[in-house]
Chain A
């Protein structure tokens, strides 16, 4: 289901300065029965920018607070500046800050609390953000 139409695995990049989060996410992906995902991990935004520039990344899970940056408002635009046009999801243990309301203005596609993540969420994310919402005819308009 979640593998791309050409059959290759979906490549998700996790950017989090706490390596333990990588361990935890890997474990959760296993419980998402429909997801076959190739999860990569980097610990800082610099590494993330390098990685998306290298290509092949389909989706980014971005930790909200990456030391020494303040929050996603500083980091997400860096990925967009690097030319990344895949979905970016902010994962954070706390998404209560008011600035989260404006996440789309910073090029972010969705936000989710780390607590909320489970297999069904990952399934939904993959389905929602890999499925083209535009009909075949519409997509082909300019192709």
Chain B
């Protein structure tokens, strides 16, 4: 019995996604299945800050060359993409030929799909798809918006909502405990058979969960709350 082929982001991978790489793959699959080469997901913060796709929590596969100009680091308040996001919560297809966007103009194609996304906490995010030849019709846009919402919902639960999650996983507690004994990330990586990157990911997650900014505070907070002794 052969399993019928489905696009990646609609299959079991959505449920199995555990890290940023997995969500990168899901959003990329969503973009690719609708004919777009590039995507970007990031938070919509405020007028002053604009939309920063280079933010550490943003996910995108936009070429680095688009951001080489120091003046074009963010999609700022004057950009029609940003204006659209400020004014509407509905997904839309924008024609860059009529309303040029400085950053996204680098894609070379005129069509950009903007999908506003909303986290349960009230935070606003957006998915931007560019680099496609065709202009999605109404139905295609609806499908993109739906899939984007599903992936984003999971992305928020697994990755973004760490700030509001209390309690540490077993792995995280192990790592905090080793840190409290003075081990570096590299040493912990060897002890636990993980990559240093993964250990740092865990530490970063713990920092966000405990609302602290460095390892010393992390250890102190963990001891205070009885997570480790």
Contacts and interface: CB of A to CB of B under 8 A. Distances in A.
Contact of B61 (A96, A110, A111, A124): A124
A83 B216 CA distance: 26
The DSSP consensus for interface residues of chain A is mixed
A110 B22 contact: yes
B10 to A, nearest CB: 13
A142 B219 CA distance: 12
Given A33-B63, A80-B193, A109-B198, A85 B186 contact: yes
Interface stretch (B73-81, B85-93, B200-208): B200-208
Nearest to A122: B61
The DSSP consensus for interface residues of chain B is helix
Given A121-B61, A128-B21, A87 B200 contact: no
B194 A121 contact: no
Contact of A113 (B8, B63, B193): B8
30 contacts: A33-B63, A33-B64, A80-B193, A83-B190, A84-B195, A85-B194, A85-B195, A86-B195, A86-B196, A86-B197, A87-B197, A96-B11, A104-B19, A104-B194, A106-B193, A107-B192, A107-B193, A110-B22, A111-B21, A111-B22, A112-B25, A116-B28, A124-B21, A124-B24, A134-B204, A135-B214, A137-B213, A138-B213, A142-B182, A142-B184
Interface of A: 1, 33-34, 77, 80-81, 83-89, 95-96, 100-101, 104, 106-107, 109-113, 116, 120-121, 123-125, 128-129, 132-135, 137-138, 141-142
